[in-house]
Amino acid sequence: MDTRRDFLRKMAVASIALPILSIKHKSGNKNLQNHNGQVLRVAIMGLGGYASMVAEAMRDCKSAKLVGLISGTPSKIKNWQRKYGIAEKNCYNYENFDEVRNNPDIDAVYVITPNALHHDQVIRVANAGKQVICEKPMGISAKEGQEMVDACKKANVHLLVGYRMHFEAKTLEIIRMRNEGEFGKISFFQGLSGFVIGDPTQWRLNKALAGGGAMMDIGIYSVNGSRYMVGEEPIWVTAQETKTDLNKFKEGVDETIQFQMGFPSGAVASCLSTYNMNNLDRFFLNGMDGFAELQPSTGYGPIEGRTHKGPLTQPHITHQTVQMDEMAGIILKGKKPIVPVDGEEAVKDLKIIDAIYLAARTGTKVNLV
């Protein structure tokens, strides 16, 4: 079973776009030019390890197709061209990808680059008139995130974020059960997100590129998970940071943060984000009449879970395949996901992360409303 930890360990070892008509959707003209409105034609920006997973998963998509590449490494582009049959005219680098505006063969760009690059790249894609998908965290602060949302709205394009768990079957079953009151009044959520990170020279441990440390990479799963599992928005946070390796985790790069959140109903959450402990990928939701547990809860699958009624048995489908097909439905057909995956959703997470960092620095309770 592949987990995020396994994937990043492999990464550490390995290293460190035929228009016919414009279509309108329920949400308005989204600058789409698509040959038949059935397949979303995607260019991937940033050809690293996770991008490879997305590209492989898209081979099985029915509604999304990889047609373009954007990278600063020419050799990567050549290798990907051969592997995925990408036309030369659909390949760009980081200096010239604004020219995608003139390419009717590309509908959307999926930005899968280091966190701190997302802001400017997303805005450039939006200004080029293409639909935007961005890997999470969408930005490195709520301010950045809101600027990205505003830019995409101004350009009249979608901004979607790679929240693959929002489409995962066992996760959605728990959300259904909660919505139907099967757990009773929700009282508690626990989210544990962590692994021991490898190569100390990788970008995830560089504040200028990552915007932080474990919280930006893995802790965001517990932040986001608390919201969709409890079904509310937190109103306060407290947090405590622990750092044991000052060489590996420089100033501004968090190693371990414990954080707590309170919700309007009185429910509370207790979460852990870390780059220094293995075997941490667990969500637990407790209600007055029942419970739900996922372990692993956010790995690449299969997700395993149970509730007070027994094991969750929904089948595993590669997360990125489902995500890209569902996102194609959102962009092309105006489909509404059960849990949002838009830029506004991502800004909510970034506001909470900003508050967690502030609470950890100051030792104070930070109100979110």
Give the residue-averaged pLDDT of 338-355.
98
How many distinct structural domains can be found in the chain? Answer: 2
Residues whose CB falls within 8 Å of the CB of residue 49, separated by 6 or more in sequence, listed in order: 7, 10, 11, 14, 15
Tell me: do 239 and 362 sit in the same domain.
yes
CA dist 32 and 46 (Å) reads 23
| DSSP for 34-84, written as a single string | ESSSS-EEEEEE--SHHHHHHHHHHTT-SSEEEEEEE-S-HHHHHHHHHHH
Tell me: do 219 and 303 sit in the same domain.
yes
Among residues 50, 110, 163, 221, the one annotated as catalytic is: 221
Tell me: do 195 and 153 sit in the same domain.
no
CA dist 107 and 18 (Å) reads 11
The predicted model scores a pTM of 0.91
What would the pLDDT profile of 265-313 be if each residue is shown by its tens digit?
A: 999 999 999 999 999 999 999 999 999 999 999 999 999 999 999 999 9
Asked whether residue 281 is assigned to any structural domain, the reply reads: yes
Give the pLDDT confidence score for residue 22 in this predicted structure: 32
In terms of DSSP bridges, do strands 21-25 and 28-34 run parallel, antiparallel, or are they unpaired?
antiparallel
Tell me: do 197 and 96 sit in the same domain.
no
Asked whether residue 234 is assigned to any structural domain, the reply reads: yes
**Residue 228 CA, distance from chain mean position:** 14
Q: Which helix (H) or strand (E) holds 194?
A: strand 186-194
Last residue of a domain, one of 102, 130, 162: 162
Nearest to 276 by CA among 298, 258, 303: 258
Asked whether residue 363 is assigned to any structural domain, the reply reads: yes
Tell me: do 85 and 101 sit in the same domain.
yes
CATH number of the domain to which 26 belongs: 3.40.50.720
Structural domain of 86: 17-162
Nearest to 8 by CA among 177, 164, 152, 196: 196
Asked whether residue 12 is assigned to any structural domain, the reply reads: no
- 3-class SS letters over 128-142: CCCEEEECCCCCCCH
Asked whether residue 251 is assigned to any structural domain, the reply reads: yes
| DSSP for 83-131, written as a single string | HHT--GGGEE-TTTGGGGGG-TT--EEEE-S-GGGHHHHHHHHHHTT-E
Tokens of 148: 């990205």
CA dist 331 and 364 (Å) reads 41
What proportion of the chain, given as a percentage, has pLDDT over 90?
A: 90
CA dist 210 and 167 (Å) reads 26
Amino acid, res. 12: A
In terms of DSSP bridges, do strands 159-161 and 131-134 run parallel, antiparallel, or are they unpaired?
parallel
What would the pLDDT profile of 240-273 be if each residue is shown by its tens digit?
A: 999 999 999 999 999 999 999 999 999 999 999 9
Tell me: do 135 and 217 sit in the same domain.
no
CA dist 331 and 41 (Å) reads 11
Tell me: do 113 and 218 sit in the same domain.
no
Task: Give the total residue count for the chain.
Answer: 369
pLDDT class of 27 with cuts at 50, 70, 90 = very low
Asked whether residue 9 is assigned to any structural domain, the reply reads: no
Among residues 50, 92, 130, 136, the one annotated as catalytic is: 136
CATH number of the domain to which 282 belongs: 3.30.360.10
Tell me: do 148 and 239 sit in the same domain.
no
Tell me: do 240 and 113 sit in the same domain.
no
Give the pLDDT confidence score for residue 37 in this predicted structure: 62
Asked whether residue 6 is assigned to any structural domain, the reply reads: no
Last residue of a domain, one of 138, 162, 186: 162
Tell me: do 277 and 363 sit in the same domain.
yes
Tell me: do 31 and 78 sit in the same domain.
yes
Tell me: do 158 and 169 sit in the same domain.
no
Last residue of a domain, one of 162, 179, 203: 162
Whether 50 sits among the annotated catalytic residues: the reply is no
Asked whether residue 156 is assigned to any structural domain, the reply reads: yes
